Amino acid sequence: MLNFNLLSLLLIVLGAAFLGLQTPQIAAVARVYPLVMIALVIACALAIAAQELAGRSATPPLDAKLAKMLFAPMRSRIRVLGFVAVWLAYTGALPHVGFIVATTCAISISLWLLAIRRPLVGVATATAFSLVISILFATTLYIPTPSGPVDQLLTQAIYAIQHRGNSNDH
């Protein structure tokens, strides 16, 4: 743990020092405040590191939830990593495949990893959820989402239904 703490503090000091090296490129008036903060961050990090090295620091207990996660069995940790990977991949895929397809896939896999043992139930839930949310966003809440081929088909279908309604009125 000492190594982790010292390495982390070193990273903070190096990061702050790197920002400090960028300050000459900033206008004089605008650089004073960040420089003061950089100096204070480095000073605090060095003070903690010195305390750790001297063994004088009564290290506070680790956050309970984090401790439970870090010291969980390997199987659990792999599943949690899988969960994080799914949602990172979702972010990457969203602009390319569109909201409905990406959301359906991500929710299905995430549910399969964490909650639902029967994949078909997960896929059905995810598909229904994605469609309902898409329709709600498009027609009621007006929240824009990345569009793919399936999203465009849905938008056209909604437009056609609304337009048909208007035509009938006339």
Partner 1 sequence: MLQGFLASLSPASLLVEILGVIIGIIFGAIPGLTATLAIALFVPVTFLMSAEHGMIMLGGIYAGGIFGGSISAILINVPGTPASVVTGWEGYALAREGRAPFALSLAALSSGVGGLLSALALLFLTPALSSLALTFGPPEYCALLLFSFTIVTFMMDGSLIRSLLGLFFGLLVTTIGLDPVTGAARFTFGNVDLLSGFNLVAVLVGFFCMTEAVYLASEVFDESPSAAVKFGKEREYGALLKTMLTRAVTYLRSSAIGIFLGILPAIGPVETPFIAHTIERRFNRGDAKFGKGSVTGLIASECSISANVGGSLIPLISLGIPGSGAAAVFIGALTLHGLQPGPLLFQNQPVLIYTFFWGFIAVNLFMLLFGIFGARYFAVVLKLSAGVLATFIAFFSILGAYAINNSMFDVGVMFGATALAMWLRALRVPILPIVLAVILGPQFEQQTLVLFTTSESLKSVLERPIADVFFALSLLIVVFAVGKRLRN
Q: Which is nearer to partner 1, 38 or 101 (CB)?
A: 38
**What's the DSSP call for residue 72?**
S
Q: Which is nearer to partner 1, 27 or 120 (CB)?
A: 27
**In which element (H, E) is residue 41 found?**
helix 28-54
CB of 30 to partner 1, least distance (A): 4
Distance CA 83, CA 105 (A): 13
The structure tokens listed for 27 are 């206008």
Q: How many C-beta neighbours within 10 Å does residue 63 have?
A: 10
Q: How far is the CB of 111 from partner 1 (least distance, A)?
A: 6
Contact 111, 126 (CB under 8 A): yes
Name the token pair of 20.
């400090």
CB of 115 to partner 1, least distance (A): 3
The conformation of residue 146, written as its DSSP 8-state character, comes to -
Q: Which residues bind partner 1 (CB under 8 A)?
A: 4-5, 8-9, 12, 16, 19, 22, 26-27, 29-31, 33-34, 37-38, 40-41, 44-45, 47-48, 51, 57-63, 65-66, 68-70, 72-73, 75-77, 79-80, 83-84, 87-88, 90-91, 94-95, 103, 106-107, 110-111, 113-116, 141-146
Backbone angles phi, psi at 116, to 5 degrees: -100, 125
Cβ proximity to partner 1, 28 vs 167, nearer residue: 28
Closest CA to 154 of 91, 96, 108, 99: 99
CB of 9 to partner 1, least distance (A): 8
- Judged by beta carbon, residue 62 or residue 153, the one nearer partner 1 is 62
By C-beta, is 40 or 153 nearer to partner 1? Answer: 40
Separation CA 134–CA 142 (nearest Å)? 10
In angstroms, what is the minimal distance from the CB of 92 to partner 1?
A: 9
